């Protein structure tokens, strides 16, 4: 199976857990890391590249196509996340970069690699899983560019669910707070936890559990599944 954005956090965890499950994992990543080195040691097939342009993504898609003649699933985890920049010029460049990662890269990879997705024995279809964010439905103004491009990915997921049925299921997982970024101060962290009914952060394992559940359900496509500790309820 293919997992994008595997150099850290959720992507790295997913890649290692699917290796634990006996899958042959193709791990796309941008920057080298200890997690990538461990994946290499475990036999994952690594594809380094950056989703900065359509041409760069096409190159990544071709490399994946060359090494993976068949895929059970594609998990689009690669993401860019930061507050919207203050000046219009900087925000415009950020918008383009986020669009490339969150929308154009999944579009190209899905289109190029869908013929490689094959069902398991029996009638089970292949899977494409897009990881978006609960902010795709209720955007935060300070992160409007991030939210808009994640919402675009979510809409794209629905389009692919229609296009690729019945041979391939296409679903979306919406993480809530899984980890804090360095710019989150103690006050903002406290506010996030206070606004989350389960009163704690989630974990990459929670996203893995949701991914496995989606893959196991043969009668689910076009679904949007929040994994957020209930945070969306209070926002």
**27-36 per-position pLDDT tens digit:** 999 999 999 9
Could you say which of 29, 135, 143, 146 is catalytic?
146
Burial class (CB in 10 A: 0-12, 13-18, 19+), 190: exposed
Q: How confident is the model at residue 232 (pLDDT cuts 50, 70, 90)?
A: confident
| pLDDT of the residue at 190 | 82
Q: What pLDDT shows up at residue 121?
A: 52
pLDDT at 45: 98
The pLDDT value given to residue 235: 59
- pLDDT at position 202 over 70: yes
Asked whether the predicted pLDDT for residue 142 surpasses 60, the reply is yes
Position 174 scores a pLDDT of 97
Torsion of CA 93, 63, 6, 76, to 10 degrees: 70
Average of pLDDT values for 221-234? 92
Which among 118, 217, 142, 141 has a CA at the least distance from the CA of 173? 217
Give the domain ranges of the chain.
2-228
- Distance in angstroms (rounded) separating the CA atoms of residues 72 and 50: 23
Q: Could you tell me the fold of the domain covering 2-228?
A: Rossmann fold (3.40.50)
Mean pLDDT of the region 206-223 = 97
- Share the mean pLDDT of the chain: 93
Degrees (nearest 5) of the Cα angle 197, 151, 134? Answer: 10
| 27 strand-pairing partners | 3, 46
Which residue in 215, 24, 1 sits closest to 125, CA to CA? Answer: 215
In this model, does residue 108 exceed pLDDT 90? yes
Residue 150 pLDDT: 98
pTM of this structure: 0.93
pLDDT on residue 120: 59
Can you tell me the mean pLDDT for 68-83?
Answer: 95
pLDDT at 43 over 70: yes
Q: Tell me: the pLDDT tens digits for 171-200?
A: 999 998 887 766 677 887 788 788 888 988
Percent of the chain predicted with pLDDT > 90: 82
- Give pLDDT, residue 63: 97
pLDDT of residue 122: 55
Gyration radius of the chain's alpha carbons: 17
- Read off the pLDDT of each residue in 30-54 and give the average, rounded to a whole number: 96
pLDDT digits (tens, 9 = 90+) for 110-130: 999 999 997 655 568 999 999
Tell me how far apart the 2 most distant CA atoms of the chain are, in Å: 54
Q: Are 21 and 15 in contact (CB under 8 A)?
A: no
Contact 105, 77 (CB under 8 A): no
146 is catalytic: yes
């Amino acid at each position: 199976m293919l997992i994008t954005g595997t150099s850290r956090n959720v992507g790295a965890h997913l890649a290692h857990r699917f290796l634990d499950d006996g899958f042959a994992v193709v791990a796309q990543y941008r920057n080298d890391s200890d997690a990538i080195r461990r994946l290499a040691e475990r036999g994952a097939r690594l594809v380094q590249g950056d989703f900065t342009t359509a041409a760069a993504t096409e190159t990544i898609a071709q490399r994946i196509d060359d090494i993976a003649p068949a895929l059970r699933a594609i998990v689009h985890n690669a993401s860019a996340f930061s507050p919207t920049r203050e000046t219009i010029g900087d925000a415009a460049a950020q918008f383009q970069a986020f669009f490339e990662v969150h929308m154009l890269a999944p579009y190209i990879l899905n289109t190029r690699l869908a013929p490689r997705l094959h069902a398991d024995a029996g009638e089970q279809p292949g899977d494409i899983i897009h990881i978006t964010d609960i902010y795709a439905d209720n955007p935060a103004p300070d992160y409007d560019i991030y939210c808009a491009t994640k919402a675009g990915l979510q809409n794209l997921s629905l389009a692919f669910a229609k296009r690729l049925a019945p041979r391939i299921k296409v679903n979306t997982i919406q993480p809530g707070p899984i980890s804090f970024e360095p710019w989150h101060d103690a006050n903002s962290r406290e506010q996030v936890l206070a606004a989350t009914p389960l009163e704690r952060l989630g974990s990459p394992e929670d996203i893995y559990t949701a991914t496995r559940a989606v893959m196991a359900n043969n009668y689910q496509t076009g679904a949007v599944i929040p994994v957020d500790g209930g945070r969306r309820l209070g926002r």
